[in-house]
Amino acid sequence: MRPLPEDTEEESRVVPLTAEEAKQLRERHPPVSPWRVVAGQAAVGLLAAVAAWGLTGRQNVGWSAGYGALAVALPAAIFVRGLGGRVSSLRAGSAVARFLLWEMVKIALTLAMLMAAPRLVPELSWPALLVGLVLAMKVYWVALAYTPRAKTKRD
């Protein structure tokens, strides 16, 4: 067994960023607004509902697909609202606990909405509901793929 190389002091030292360096880093890598993701989920849900209704000619299939997307978008909106903008001012442990609390609320609300679906959507189509649900969930990946690009300065 070979011994591990010793860490040098330079490799293990963490150098904090200055205010200007942090500002430049944020400008190069702008964050994705969580409200844009929720709006995207709602838009995809609306498109899925209209497409399902149009392709099948059955109104209940459109409502089912729309409700599936709503079961993702509404809990996500409550999650974003619950987190608010104050997370950065909290200590790390408090921020993690707050995030996990609102994530559990989001999951519980999604499950409650799915359990209530047969009573709320007349002639519920489970396949259409699941299509709407999956399409709305995939908006997270689309948002990551289309993050705002870094601003470059041209001299």
**Where exactly are the structural domains of the chain?**
33-145
pLDDT at 13 (0 to 100): 76
**pLDDT, block means (10 residues), the chain with 155 residues:** 52 78 80 86 95 94 96 95 68 84 96 96 95 93 72 52
Around Cβ 98, how many Cβ atoms within 10 Å? 16
Burial class (CB in 10 A: 0-12, 13-18, 19+), 68: buried
Global pTM reads 0.74
pLDDT at 128 (0 to 100): 96
Sign of the CA dihedral 93, 96, 102, 107? negative
Query: Do the beta carbons of residue 65 and residue 49 sit within 8 Å?
Result: yes
* Residues 6+ away with beta carbon under 8 Å from 135: 44, 45, 48, 69
pLDDT at 142 (0 to 100): 82
pLDDT at 155 (0 to 100): 41
